[in-house]
Amino acid sequence: MMDEISILHETFDDDVTTSPSPEAEQRARHALQNRITAPAPVRRRLSWWLSIPVAATAAAVVAVVVAGNVNGKGAPGPTTAGPALSAAPVAALPYLKPVSAAQVLENAAWTAEQEAWVNPAPTQFMYVETLEMRNKPGYEQKHPNGTLLPGKAEYRTIQEWNRIDGQVWASKRNGKLEVNHQGQNGGWKAFVPWSQVVKLTSSAVIDAYLEHPEGGVTAEPWALAGQYVLPPDVKAAIFRYLAQQPGVQVNPDAVNLDGRPAIALGEVIEGYLSRELLFDKDTYSLIGDRLVAVNDETAPNSSHHKKGDLLRQVIYRKMIIVDKAGDTD
Quote the pLDDT of residue 166. 95
Summarize the confidence of residues 22-38 as an average pLDDT: 43
Lowest mean pLDDT among 92-96, 248-252, 277-281: 248-252
CA dist., res. 233 & res. 197, Å (int) = 11
Quote the pLDDT of residue 66. 31
Q: Tens of pLDDT along 183-213? A: 888 788 889 999 999 999 999 999 999 999 9
Q: Tens of pLDDT along 268-284? A: 888 888 889 999 999 99
The whole-model pTM stands at 0.72
